[in-house]
Amino acid sequence: MSRVNALGLGGCKFWRRSALVDPREKMPTRIERLLPASCGNRSANRPPHIAVLMADDLGFADTGFAGSPLMQTPCLDKLARDAVHLTRFRTPTWCAPSRAAFLTGRHGWELGLATAQGWTALGGEVVLLSELLREAGYRTAIVGKFHFNPAMRRRHPSGGSFGCGFDHQHGFLGGETDYYRHHPTWSRDGKSIRERGYATELFAAEAERLILAHARRPAPLAPFFLWLALNAPHTPLQAPRELEARFSASLDPQVRTYAAMVLAMDRAFERTVGALQQVSSAIYVHCIRK
């Protein structure tokens, strides 16, 4: 069962355009049924804002709430205290099939994505979660790592200039990037840009900017779907020195850097959740650890 299936958003049949049941007719209803009790003060006719926070290659026990004595993840620990924990699931261990499963509700091997190589382009017959949400009235955004073949953008042209059902985009296409020099495909809304800075921090700043900018849009405000798909703590092992300094110098250098990368990841999530808290009293945040 993929992560999306575990949320009840669909199965393989539901996500095919040729399915007997039109997913566009069912999506808003299914979203409403997924809302936690904490969102009960919403307007009955107003869909929720949704933020999905995705880590990349994070060890299953490499968080404070999972029992790690080393990792510093105060934001995730706080979210975990009031969260539903899905501890029995089947998930790919690779980047590309995990992202494909999330966007489609289908196993990576069904889509030709069985390993970390994300160069299979999902065809136009495959329905993406972002497309369905956009057709249900959502403004949609992807920030971070989009591990798919660039040709996929031509096959899924809906949305903004980036396509794939996303009105906004910031990040890169590919499996990994240098955290400071950045991937050749680094872009915003599909247009190549050059930025200076640590990738995790740049993605956090963009997520915060998009949330606050969306809140300033004229009423009636459309629901917002944000997929913050960090590449942290995926290799290469690189972290700001000031974060490495928070961990003992006696640690193995790679372990020390990895711990600092996890802390940077947690701070990115904290910044995103903080922006959500500024604009909404009822927050539904779905965290994915891969």
Q: Which of 49, 75, 95, 164 is catalytic?
A: 95
CA distance 70 to 257: 12
Cα–Cα nearest to 259, from 278, 276, 287, 239: 239
CA distance 43 to 277: 18
For residue 145, the surrounding DSSP H or E stretch is strand 139-146
Left if phi > 0, otherwise alpha if psi is -120 to 50, otherwise beta: which for 247? beta
**Token pair 């950045």 in the structure block, residue:** 182
DSSP 175: S
CA distance 101 to 25: 21
Alpha-carbon torsion (258, 149, 201, 56), positive or negative: negative
Q: Which of 49, 75, 107, 147 is catalytic?
A: 147
- Asked about 147 being catalytic, the answer comes back as yes
Q: Is 25 helix (H, G, I), strand (E, B) or coil?
A: helix
Q: Please, which residues have CB within 8 angstroms of residue 77's CB and are 6 or more apart in sequence?
A: 63, 64, 65
Q: Please, which residues have CB within 8 angstroms of residue 71's CB and are 6 or more apart in sequence?
A: 62, 63, 64, 259, 262, 263
- Chain centre to alpha carbon of residue 55: 8
Q: Give me the active site residues, please.
A: 95, 147
